[in-house]
Structure 1
Amino acid sequence: MSQQLGRLLLIQIGDGADPGPETFNNLCGLKTRSFNLSASEIDTTIPSCTNPGDEVQKTSRPGMVNRTFTGSGAFVSSVAMTAFMDKVINATVFNAKVIVPGLGTFTGPFFVTDFEASGDMENNMEFSATFVPGDSLTFVAA
């Protein structure tokens, strides 16, 4: 079993080409990134009807799933960043791929729910963004 490099956890933004195959490019500048895979828990616990004084066993089933990508890093001016910022500014859904090394790729429509640009007097401008699915995602195992 091999270790995976964190810098290979990527989000790629689709160019929206129509017709024709869509091209996906890495969102450049990311220094930190994370991808959350979670599901809400729905309680299905029912106390014993025949012996209500018995120990109650908690049971659950999965509810809504969450697939959220967050990243932050250097704001790198480019044609791709300009196209990405247009989607952020206009709250547009776009196709993206989240590549999780050693696991696989999640592909589908995403939009940015939170974007922040920051900087101080001496350092370069940085940004952070949160991406959530706009619809169901397709998963292809690595």
Structure 2
Amino acid sequence: MAVQAGKDLLLKLDETATGSFVTVAGLRSRRLAFSTGAVDVTHADSPDRWRELLAGAAAKRLSVSGAGVFKDAPSDAAVRRLFFEALIRPWQIVLPDFGTLEGPFQLVSLDYAGDHEGEISWDMGLESAGAITFTAA
């Protein structure tokens, strides 16, 4: 993958879960974090008492965070509704020239901030709530 501009990463929401995704925000910073746990199966007869892990058994998760300004009033309203109603909806994370991650997410944090001489900005956090697919570009 060639060097990419951070501004090109897109966060899209399918508010109605009908397969229609729209970009919801002007992201100024973004972060994707893939993680998994470990299932410890160490027992009294483990070789030299070294920890043993069970392959393929841990839960996977994708955390997405972003900060910026909302694109427009409808996208701001859609994101607020998802948060206050604790809804899980399909989201897409588009990484140009790399691919698209898609799956159900829950909006787990939503913060607003503003300076006296500046615009209102926000921070949001999404947590995967099911299987995530990857489609290469």
Q: TM-score range by the shorter chain?
A: 0.7 to 0.9
Q: Name the CA distance, whole Å, in 2 between partners of 1:141 and 1:48.
A: 44
> How many correspondences in the alignment?
135
Given candidates 93, 101, 105, the residue that maps to 2:100 is: 105
Structure 1 unmatched runs, 5+: none
Look up the SS of the partner of 1:41 in the other structure: coil
User: Is residue 2:61 matched to residue 1:66?
Assistant: yes
Shift of 1:131: 0.7
Quote the Cα distance in structure 1 between the aligned partners of 2:35 and 2:129. 16
Q: Equivalents in 2 of 1:47, 1:64: separation in Å?
A: 25
In structure 2, relative to structure 1, the CA distance for the partners of 1:6 and 1:48 (3 Å cut) is same
TM (normalized to structure 1)?
Answer: 0.78
2:33 to 29, 36, 51: 36
Q: TM-score, normalised by structure 2?
A: 0.81
Counterpart of 2:135?
140
Given that 2:24 and 2:71 are in contact with CA atoms closer than 8 Å, whether structure 1 keeps it comes out as no
State the identity as a percent.
Answer: 24
Contact 2:11 2:25 in 1 (8 A): no
Pick the structure with greater CA Rg: 1
Instruction: Specify the SS of the correspondent of 1:73.
Output: strand
Residues 43, 124 of structure 1: CA spacing in aligned structure 2 closer, same or farther, 3 A cutoff? Answer: same
Match of 2:14? 14
Q: Which residue of 2 aligns with 1:5?
A: 5
Q: How does 1:58-97 map to 2 (within 5 A)?
A: 58-60=51-53, 61-62=55-56, 63-97=58-92
Closer, same or farther in 2 for the Cα pair 1:66/1:17, shift >3 Å?
closer
Please give the root-mean-square deviation of Cα atoms over the aligned residues, in Å.
2.4
Unpaired segments of 5 or more residues in structure 2?
none
Shift in CA distance, 122/102, structure 1 to aligned 2, threshold 3 Å: same
Instruction: Note the alpha carbon deviations across 1:50-102, whole angstroms, 9 max, x for none.
Output: xx7x5x54443351111111000123433222222222222212111112345
Where 1:42 maps in the other structure, the secondary structure is coil
